[in-house]
Amino acid sequence: MVLVAGDDVDHDLLQAAPALSRIASDAGFITTPAAGMQRFVDPFESTANQDVFLLYKAGGEFTPAQQEAFAERIRNGGGVVALHCSNVMGSVEPDAANSFATWFGVLGNHYLSHGPGYHKGMQRIEVVAQHPITEGVSDFELYDEFYEFEFADGDHEILAQRRRDQDGEIIPVLYTRELGAGRVVYLALGHDMRVWGDPSFQRLVRQALNWVAHRS
C-alpha cells in the first residue's frame, strides 16, 4: 500500500500517490494507493490485507490508538518504508496530548529542522554500507529538501549520509531498523517529483520495499 497522508501544502500529496505507486509496481508489488492514517483500527479489507507500506506522510491526524495498531502490524512481521516528511510529528513525550511517541518508537526518529542555510539545495549522497537496499547504488547527487532529525534510540543501521556544506557535519539520510518480526526503513529524501524521478532514489526505494518484505 502506497499510503499518502497529511495537510502540509508544501508537499505535493496529489502527485505523490501515482509517482510512488509506479516505483512500488516496478519493484514487483501489486500496489494499492490510499490516503489517511486513520485505517489501522478496525481496518477495511484493503488495509487489513497489506503487509508492506510505502509512506509519504506530511502532517495530518494519526491518533495514538492508530499508531499502536500500526506498530502491532509491523511487530508481527509487516514492513514500512517511510519517506522524507513522514518523520514530522508533534510531541514525542508519551504523556502529551496527541502524543506521537508510539510512531517515534516505530520509525526511530523525529524531524528537528532543515539545518542552516536555505532549506533546499543540491545534496551529495554517500553510500556508507553494503546492504541489499544499497546494492548497485553508488554515491549520487540530487536537488532535495534538507532534513535533520533525532534518533529515538541506537537501534538502527545507517546506510547513506550527506555532509553539510556549511561545516562538513555528517547527516544520516537512510537507515534500517527492526521491530519485533518487522522491518522499518527511513529515507530522508523525497520532497517532490524532481526526486521521485531520480534513478538512484527509485532504486533505493524499490530495494527497500523488497527488504522490508523479506524478498530478495
**pLDDT of res. 114:** 96
Q: What is the pTM of this model?
A: 0.97
Could you give the count of Cα atoms lying within 13 Å of 64 in the half-sphere of its Cβ? 11
In tens, the pLDDT along 139-176 reads: 999 999 999 999 999 999 999 999 999 999 999 999 99
**pLDDT of res. 142:** 97
Spans of the chain below 50 pLDDT = none
Cell of 161: 549520509
Domain 2-212 adopts which CATH fold?
Rossmann fold (3.40.50)
CA distance 114 to 42: 36
**pLDDT of res. 201:** 98
